């Protein structure tokens, strides 16, 4: 930093009229402020030495706990962290030799899971509430997420939430509640509101879907929104309506501004001493602040609150601000408070949407309010489409119609009614109930419309990955199309959209020739999911685990990856066997992708689908690549891991062996039947001791072996004994737990495989190593 400052001074001295000096100074200030912000406000992760060990923590629950079939999920703000010793001795970390003069601060994301036998009371987690202080015995590990192209960056999200570790509560007598109202005053107020609201909603038997939407609009708590609801909201482009942000904060401020100004201006004595617009602006600031507080000051509400504050202060001090300058001032204010806001897609979506409204609204020919409103919605679709494709690989064409219908209902009726109901919760629950009943009716009408649009007008998906340059070119094209200029230039500007919309321009770098194979072993945690591409076909081998109704590897990893690759149809899906960590995500994949052929070693687990049994001897050839099923034989193993479908993929350039979860017995059957060789081996059973026998490895003799295993998984996969075996045979081993998804291209270069490791190639400072 000192060197950079010295260089700037030298430039100023020796280069006269250096016009880039202000830009460089601001860049230096931005980097300095971001570094200071990181150092001051973002804690370090839990030291490696303490991971997967029993720890004792004292902390306060600082979020609304989320109940799931498996238990309760919650975040805990650390007050004290100690090593746990069963004899009752505790060693404080910040006073130990290894952590001298350090105190571990931050938040933990924990799960308190139920035991199989729920009939025993001690096997069920206690009722947890925000603000409670607990002493818990826990086991934690570094923040970890799936690292694949297209997967949600969970580690970045945890980093932004200042969560330094994730883990679970261990059962024992050490766990006890120390206090009830130990959290912040804001958390207690929000919890009190939530309790009253939920009691009222349940007492009047509101549906679960309506409770979820009302809580989201009142408190910003979206944990109860179902997968089906999210699907409808996203596909119709209305998901922003259930995230308290600029629209909602702006509405609360606008209503209060209009109401306060109207009432204050009725009294001449008062308005003559304080202008009604100034009083109204102050009231609007209070309303916006109160709604943001009720939503917990989430990152989107902070941005909206800042913009509202700047606008209202300008009104109070009679400062005329150009809309463009207002957006820029708000942008600088947001980045000044939170420089890392640029990591959030919502930051770009919200500011670009507001900027385009200010920029393009005057260009709309004002014929009627309805047409103007529809025009603004289509302009928003146009300006946000590049970002939607860039971030989500999808565009919803029905979005303008859906928003034109639903936004007025939500903004003018639903949100005001919910906010009024929140006020009356503590005055008259009867009035609050009637307000919420009307709200429920309005939500029902909106939902019927959205479901109809969702069923009949699906969103456009499968655009594939888009580079930042393609997105920027599309934005330039939009601006040129909107500004007044000659038609010829506008026609030429339309060509700037091609890199964003044309798959041919995008995927030329990944085009495969005859006999070439591109295999990606996806990072699916403790499971398996492999995508194999040839020149014209796609094969998916195993689809990872299903963790809950809301979450599985199919919708979290495989579908996003296929979307990034621009894949809409899958030629072959092979489910090796029936274990959850290999077939759990299948339903999610089958819902959104057309599957032409389906094979499984355990076809009885997929009876509801047109599945064929995977049997030794099945073969097919495409693009000069052959696919051969080596196992199981009809008479082999009735059930279990040894029923795994083993597939050999071979071309003139190289070969791959996919093994599922086979054990030594199945390995022996395979190498006794055929003299198999493979250049690449997907390690059997995640590297378990039950597999990878000496004889099997010597027979296959791979150059490279790939392990698909979860980070610090409870099974200890891959086994150290097995890894030593691979090392002794001089077989290179890669592990998805360390590498993220592993992409391997077998092409004309033969044994010199091109290997890409997503975690290593796309590493950022918030990602674990």
Location of structure tokens 């001298």: 100
Q: Is residue 518 part of a domain?
A: yes
Q: What is the CATH number of the domain that holds 584?
A: 3.60.15.10
pLDDT category at 464 given cuts 50, 70, 90 is low
- Confidence class for position 85, pLDDT limits 50, 70, 90: low
- At residue 508, the pLDDT reads 43
Q: Contact, 81 vs 107, CB < 8 A? A: no
| Whether the predicted pLDDT of 615 surpasses 80 | yes
Is 318 part of a structural domain of the chain? no
Element (H, E) at 267: none
pLDDT at 390 over 80: no
The reported pTM is 0.86
25 shares its domain with 89: no
**pLDDT confidence of residue 417:** 92
Could you give the angle at the alpha carbon of 622 between the alpha carbons of 576 and 682, nearest 5°? 35
pLDDT of residue 5: 58
Question: Could you read off the pLDDT of 109-143 as tens digits, one per residue?
Answer: 999 988 755 544 556 788 899 999 999 999 998 99
Query: Are 476 and 541 found together in one domain?
Result: no
The CA distance from 663 to 336, in Å, is: 57
pLDDT of 310 over the 60 cut? yes
| 302 within some domain | no
When pLDDT is averaged across residues 342-348 and rounded to a whole number, the result is: 83
Q: Identify the pLDDT of residue 629.
A: 95
Residue 58 sits at the vertex; the CA angle it makes with 54 and 59, to the nearest 5 degrees, is 120
Domain membership of residue 315 (yes or no) is: no
Which runs of E-coded beta strand occur in 44-120?
55-61, 66-68, 71-84, 90-92, 107-113
Work out whether strand 732-735 and strand 704-707 pair parallel, antiparallel, or are unpaired. Answer: parallel
Query: Does residue 146 register a pLDDT over 50?
Result: yes
The angle at the Cα of 621, spanning 618 to 623, to the nearest 5 degrees, equals: 160
Q: Please, which pLDDT band fits residue 586 given cuts at 50, 70 and 90? A: very high
Give residue 7's domain range.
2-41
Say whether pLDDT at 9 is over 60: no
Residue 94 — pLDDT band, cuts 50, 70, 90? very low
Based on the fold, state whether residues 500 and 545 are members of the same structural domain: no
The answer as to whether 246 is a domain residue is: no
pLDDT of residue 154: 94
- Residue 200 — pLDDT band, cuts 50, 70, 90? very high
Contact 506, 499 (CB under 8 A): yes
* Whether residues 424 and 412 fall in one domain: yes
Instruction: Give the tokens for residue 628.
Output: 């051969």
- Taking the C-alpha atoms of residue 658 and residue 575, their distance in angstroms, rounded to an integer, is 11
What's the structural domain count of the chain? 5
Q: What is the pLDDT of residue 506?
A: 46
| One domain for residues 208 and 75 | no
List C-alpha distances in Å: 25 to 31, 331, 709: 10, 18, 47
Count of CB atoms within 10 A of residue 97's CB?
Answer: 5
In sequence order, what are the residues at sequence separation of 6 or more whose Cβ sits closer than 8 angstroms to the Cβ of residue 179?
Answer: 132, 133
pLDDT of residue 471 exceeding 90:
no
Q: Are residues 446 and 542 in the same domain?
A: no
Query: How far apart are the C-alpha atoms of 31 and 294, rounded to whole Å?
Result: 33
Count of positions (residues) in the chain: 769
Instruction: Give domain status of residue 53, yes or no.
Output: yes
| pLDDT for residue 320 | 80
Of 539 and 113, more confident: 539
Measured CA to CA, the distance from residue 573 to residue 589 in angstroms comes to 10
**What is the mean pLDDT of the segment spanning 270-298?**
87
Residue 101: predicted pLDDT: 37
- Show the tokens assigned to 224: 């109860």
In this prediction, residue 600 carries a pLDDT of 93
Cα separation, 742 vs 148, whole angstroms: 9
Neighbours of 377 (CB within 10 A): 19
Question: Cα(644)–Cα(576) distance, rounded to whole angstroms?
Answer: 5
CA distance 131 to 177: 11
- Per-residue pLDDT band for 340 (boundaries 50, 70, 90) equals confident
Q: Which of 85-89, 242-246, 684-688, 765-769 has the highest mean pLDDT?
A: 684-688
d(Cα 352, Cα 392) in Å, to the nearest integer?
16
Contact between 379 and 360 under an 8 Å Cβ cutoff? The reply is: yes
Whether 91 and 222 share a structural domain: no
Least confident of 168-182, 352-366, 407-421, 679-693: 352-366
Of 183, 41, 61, 46, the residue nearest 103 (C-alpha): 46
Output the pLDDT for position 148. 95
Query: Could you tell me the CATH number of the domain that includes residue 58?
Result: 2.40.50
487-520 per-position pLDDT tens digit: 767 777 777 777 776 654 444 445 788 999 999 9
Within a domain: residue 368?
no
Tell the residue number behind the tokens 């060197």, with chain if given: 3
Q: Let me know how many helices (H) and strands (E) the chain has, helices first.
A: 29, 25
Shortest CA distance to 214 belongs to which of 204, 222, 246?
222
Mean predicted confidence (pLDDT) in 343-371: 74
Which of 24-28, 152-156, 289-293 has the weakest average pLDDT? Answer: 24-28
What is the average per-residue pLDDT within 12-18?
Answer: 56
Would you call 680 helix, strand, or coil by DSSP?
strand
Backbone angles phi, psi at 280, to 5 degrees: -65, -40
**Spatial separation of the C-alpha atoms in residues 679 and 700, rounded to whole Å:** 8
Q: Average of pLDDT values for 272-290? A: 88
Task: Indicate if 482 and 515 belong to the same structural domain.
Answer: no
607 and 728 co-located in one domain? yes
CA 212 to chain centre: 20
Nearest to 64 by CA among 155, 131, 160: 131
Q: Which of 110-114, 293-297, 597-601, 617-621 has the lowest mean pLDDT?
A: 293-297
3-state SS assignment for residue 325 = helix
Question: In this structure, are residues 57 and 138 in contact, taking their beta carbons and an 8 Å threshold?
Answer: yes
pLDDT digits (tens, 9 = 90+) for 550-571: 889 999 999 999 988 888 899 9
- The arithmetic mean of pLDDT across residues 464-477, rounded, is 73
Most confident of 233-242, 299-308, 478-487, 539-548: 539-548
Q: Could you tell me the sign of the dihedral formed by the alpha carbons of 88, 93, 97, 98, in that order?
A: positive
631 is a domain residue:
yes
- The verdict on 442 and 564 lying in the same domain is no
Residues 546 and 436 in one domain: no
Per the prediction, the chain carries an average pLDDT of: 84
Residue 70 banded pLDDT, cuts 50, 70, 90: confident
E strands, 576-624, in order? 594-600, 612-613, 619-622
Do 124 and 94 form a contact (C-beta atoms < 8 A)?
no
Q: Residue 115 half-sphere exposure, CB side, CA atoms within 13 Å?
A: 13
534 lies in the same domain as 560: yes
CA distance linking residue 738 with residue 42, whole number of Å: 24
The most confident of 279-283, 311-315, 737-741, by mean pLDDT: 737-741
Average pLDDT in the 304-310 region? 85
Which uninterrupted H or E stretch holds 194? Answer: helix 185-203
| pLDDT score at 123 | 64
φ, ψ for residue 714 (rounded to 5)? -70, -15
């Amino acid at each position: 930093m000192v060197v950079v400052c010295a260089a700037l001074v030298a430039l100023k001295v020796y280069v006269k009229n250096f016009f880039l000096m202000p830009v460089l100074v601001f860049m230096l200030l931005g980097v300095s402020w971001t570094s200071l912000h990181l150092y001051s406000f973002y804690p370090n992760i839990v030291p490696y030495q303490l991971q997967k060990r029993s720890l004792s923590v004292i902390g306060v629950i600082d979020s609304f706990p989320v109940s799931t079939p498996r238990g309760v999920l919650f975040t805990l703000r650390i007050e004290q962290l100690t090593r746990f010793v069963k004899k009752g001795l505790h060693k404080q970390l910040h006073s130990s030799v290894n952590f001298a003069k350090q105190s571990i601060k931050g938040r933990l994301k924990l799960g308190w899971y139920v035991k199989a036998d729920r009939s025993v009371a001690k096997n069920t987690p206690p009722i947890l509430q925000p603000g409670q202080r607990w002493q818990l015995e826990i086991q934690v590990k570094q923040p970890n997420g799936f690292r694949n192209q297209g997967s949600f960056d969970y580690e970045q999200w945890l980093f932004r939430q200042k969560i330094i570790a994730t883990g679970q509560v261990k059962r024992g007598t050490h766990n006890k509640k120390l206090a009830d109202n130990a959290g912040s005053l804001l958390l207690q107020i929000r919890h009190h509101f939530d309790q009253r609201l939920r009691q009222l909603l349940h007492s009047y038997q509101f549906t679960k879907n309506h409770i979820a939407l009302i809580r989201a609009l009142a408190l910003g708590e979206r944990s109860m929104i179902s997968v089906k609801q999210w699907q409808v909201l996203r596909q119709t482009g209305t998901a922003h309506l259930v995230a308290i942000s600029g629209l909602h904060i702006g509405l609360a401020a606008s209503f209060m501004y209009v109401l306060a100004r109207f009432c204050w201006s009725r009294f001449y004595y008062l308005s003559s001493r304080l202008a009604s617009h100034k009083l109204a602006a102050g009231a609007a600031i209070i309303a916006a602040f109160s709604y943001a507080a009720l939503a917990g000051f989430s990152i989107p509400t902070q941005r909206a609150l800042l913009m509202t504050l700047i606008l209202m202060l300008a009104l109070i001090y009679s400062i005329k601000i150009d809309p463009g300058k207002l957006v820029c001032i708000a942008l600088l204010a947001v980045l000044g408070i939170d420089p890392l806001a640029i990591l959030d897609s919502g930051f770009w979506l919200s500011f670009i949407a507001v900027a385009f409204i200010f920029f393009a609204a005057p260009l709309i020919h004002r014929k009627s309010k309805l047409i103007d409103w529809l025009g603004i919605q289509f302009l928003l679709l146009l300006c946000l489409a590049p970002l939607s494709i860039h971030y989500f690989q999808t565009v919803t064409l029905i979005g303008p119609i859906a928003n034109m219908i639903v936004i007025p209902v939500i903004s003018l009726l639903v949100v005001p009614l919910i906010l009024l109901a929140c006020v009356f919760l503590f005055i008259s629950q009867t009035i609050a109930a009637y307000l919420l009943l009307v709200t429920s009716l309005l939500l029902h009408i909106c939902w019927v419309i959205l479901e109809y649009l969702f069923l009949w007008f699906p969103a456009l998906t499968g655009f594939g990955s888009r580079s930042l340059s393609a997105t920027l070119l599309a934005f330039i094209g939009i601006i040129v199309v909107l500004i007044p200029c000659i038609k010829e230039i506008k026609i030429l500007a339309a060509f700037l959209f091609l890199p964003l919309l044309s798959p041919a321009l995008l995927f030329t770098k990944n085009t495969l020739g005859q006999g070439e194979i591109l295999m990606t072993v996806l990072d699916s945690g403790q499971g398996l999911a492999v995508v194999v591409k040839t020149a014209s076909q796609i094969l998916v081998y195993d689809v990872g685990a299903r963790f809950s109704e809301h979450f599985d590897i199919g919708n979290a990893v495989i579908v996003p990856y296929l979307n990034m690759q621009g894949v809409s149809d899958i030629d072959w899906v092979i489910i090796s066997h029936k274990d959850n960590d290999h077939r759990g995500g299948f339903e999610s994949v089958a819902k959104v992708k057309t599957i032409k052929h389906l094979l499984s070693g355990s076809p009885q687990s997929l009876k509801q689908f047109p599945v064929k049994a995977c049997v030794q001897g099945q073969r097919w050839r495409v693009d000069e690549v052959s696919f051969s099923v080596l196992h199981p034989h009809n008479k082999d193993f009735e059930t279990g891991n040894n029923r795994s479908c083993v597939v050999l993929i071979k071309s003139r350039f190289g070969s791959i062996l996919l093994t599922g979860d086979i054990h030594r017995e199945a390995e022996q059957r395979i190498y006794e039947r055929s003299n198999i060789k493979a250049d690449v081996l997907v390690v059997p059973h995640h590297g378990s001791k039950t597999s990878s026998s000496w004889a099997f490895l010597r027979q296959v003799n791979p150059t490279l072996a790939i392990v698909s295993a979860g980070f610090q998984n409870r099974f200890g996969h891959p086994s150290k004994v097995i890894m030593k075996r691979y090392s002794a045979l001089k077989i290179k081993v890669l592990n998805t737990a360390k590498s993220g998804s592993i992409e391997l291209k077998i092409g004309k270069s033969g044994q010199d495989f091109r290997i890409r490791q997503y975690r290593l190639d796309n590493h950022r400072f918030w990602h674990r190593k």
